[in-house]
Chains A and B, each alone.
Chain A
Amino acid sequence: MSWFRYAKGQFGLSWKVFWRNRRSTFIGFLLPVLLNLVIAAPLRNQEIGGVNAAGYVAVGLLGLALVTSFVNLLGSVVARREELVLKRLRGTECPPSAVFAGQLGVGAVVVLIQALVLGGVAVGWFGAPLPADPGLLLLTLLGGYLLFSVLAVALSGLTPSAETAPLVATPVLVLCMFGAGVFTPVSALPGWLHGPSSALPLSPVVRGLRTAWFGREFGAESWVGGPLPELDLLHGWASAAPSLLLVAAWLAAAAALSRRFLRWEPRRG
């Protein structure tokens, strides 16, 4: 059996468990979609930086979906470990990398579905334009997803039990939700927070997603400022490059942490 078939088997298993489990369906899928209706929809007649404000927030929420997916993944990796599911899976012929590839693959597909839902609502209802650069959008989304899912695997090793998983996940969620420019531009934060804000792992992802979707130079937008400069494809990539590099750096750090901290069995005694 090839590695791909093992990973596919694990994907099928995780897929079923994801939709069967209410917690993962809610946190991992529904939450960003609900926030979109509550927070983005009322802004449909406003503009920010020359783009539809509801669409601006919807794309921010697509970034936030990576973090809710992180919260769900962290909880389920810890639960799998503590309930000895990981140990049991490791006792099968399935390579360990395929076990995680399957589980991470499910999250990736769910994020793509969320992108279709959030994007569909933004374009169809809010009146946002179609993505200016779908390739850059997908790459940023994928890079961001990898970063947050590997970070979840890494932090699972530092989380002692399923009960304490929210204590680890919630700070990441709250910081990213309010500090990374999801609902409102970073410029709306007090000046001394701009530096820490741009260091958050979600900040470059959100900025990259907006650049790809709206084809403008984001970063300096504010509720009172004028339209942002428009970018052609090449300049879009140039504008997104620092963000992508920052995502790559975060991903490398998360990968190193997960190598160091990942555990397959509960710690006892």
Chain B
Amino acid sequence: MTPLSENSPAVEVVDLRRSYGDYEAVRGISFSLARGELLALLGTNGAGKTTTLEVLEGYHPPTSGSVRVFGLDPFTAGARVRRRTGTMLQEGGFFKELTVRETVDCWRTFTSGARPTAEVLARVALEPKAGTRVGQLSGGERRRLDLALAVLNDPELLFLDEPTTGLDPEARRTTWRLVEELRAAGTAVVLTTHYLEEAQQLADRVAIMDRGLIAAAGTVGEVLSGRGDLITLPLPPGRPLAALPELTGAAPSLADGRAVYRVPRSAPALAALHAWAAAQGIELDGLEVRSSSLEDVFLDLAAHHRDHTAEHADRAVDSDRGHTEHTDRTGRAARAVPEGASR
């Protein structure tokens, strides 16, 4: 048996591939995670995030490539690895017959170094529901119970698969606070999320997955660097897009009825825009300026993806924004085929 190496990184993935039958869900990705670091895996449904996470959690062996958690193979050394990790599945089941407190109490009997039940429930703000049967919980409360059990052993490494999906904003913030507390105490975290805000808020590093590959990776700053700022404005009355000027060399494009400029620096571009508007006698109502966000990177990838698959009419939708909403609504069913085909 490989000895536990105290110096090995929390996670090390080299050229991981994972297929289900003919479908290759993950097509060769590499990354590593230092102790105490937080990596967010982003991507549309079906991009391979959950598959990657389930290989790390030891549910499946890689089809090829290698995966190490604390220097160990999570598939063959499962129990040893899991003593030090916590897992929150995208969807995990509990016994409906038991109350929240009983569930945690039972879990404590087979968890090394388990925290006291009351403390764990307080951490996820579930104490008011301690006496409620799990079958009576809302979806968001069940997610928090799952999180409570994932952090029961004060893990050194935590896997969170869409931890805040279905949570109301307050519960989401509770979850974020808990993740930040754990990180402050040295826990490394790999999480997947659809909420770019969540990644931007929590992650040291992000990896954006697209069709089984990592399309962009690095710190949030690195992924966003060179993407500049966005200036958007509603089309002035009677002016088509073609009538708008170039700003510091950038031509406008149209999105959701608004003209969008992507410029390296906003100040000179805004000066040019104001000068043009003054000369034309136009009011710039509804002008917005912001720096690029992960969402823009994400939407660009989605648009890129759509261009490449335009012949598959089922995916084509009107706008970038419409596209993400489309996959959010239907992606679960679509994704269940490849990712759920696991054994």
Contacts and interface: CB of A to CB of B under 8 A. Distances in A.
Q: Do A and B come from one complex?
A: yes
Interface of A: 1, 5-6, 8-10, 12-13, 16-17, 20-21, 80, 83-88, 90-95, 98, 263-269
B341 A6 contact: no
B95 interface: yes
Contacts of A87: 59, 89, 92-93
Given A17-B95, A91-B89, A93-B79, A265 B343 contact: yes
B31 interface: no
Contact of A16 (B93, B98, B111): B98
A250 to B, nearest CB: 27
B340 interface: yes
Nearest to B133: A20
B338 A94 contact: no
B79 A94 contact: yes
B292 to A, nearest CB: 37
14 contacts: A9-B109, A9-B110, A17-B95, A84-B92, A84-B93, A88-B92, A91-B57, A93-B112, A94-B79, A265-B340, A265-B342, A265-B343, A268-B341, A269-B340
B95 A85 contact: yes
Interface string B67-95: 00000000000010011000101011111
A93 B111 contact: yes
Given A84-B92, A91-B59, A95-B79, A266 B111 contact: no
Given A9-B110, A84-B92, A91-B57, 11 more contacts: A12-B109, A13-B95, A13-B106, A86-B93, A87-B92, A91-B87, A93-B83, A93-B153, A268-B336, A268-B341, A269-B338
A9 B103 CA distance: 12
A28 to B, nearest CB: 14
B118 interface: no
Contact of A85 (B93, B336, B342): B93
Contacts of A20: 97-98
A94 B110 contact: yes
Contacts of A94: 79, 110
A269 B112 contact: no
Contact of B59 (A13, A17, A90): A90
Interface string B93-123: 1111110001000110111100000000000
Interface residues of B, number: 31
Interface string B319-343: 0000000000000000011101111
A266 B102 CA distance: 26
Interface string B213-245: 000000000000000000000000000000000
A9 B94 contact: no
A86 to B, nearest CB: 8
Interface in B236-258: none
B110 A6 contact: yes
A262 to B, nearest CB: 10
B332 to A, nearest CB: 11
A255 to B, nearest CB: 20
A85 B94 contact: yes
Contacts of B338: 269
A1 B110 contact: yes
A117 to B, nearest CB: 24
A93 B110 contact: yes
A188 to B, nearest CB: 41
Contacts of B336: 268-269
Contacts of B109: 5, 8-9, 12-13
B110 A88 contact: no
B91 A92 contact: no
Contacts of A12: 106, 109
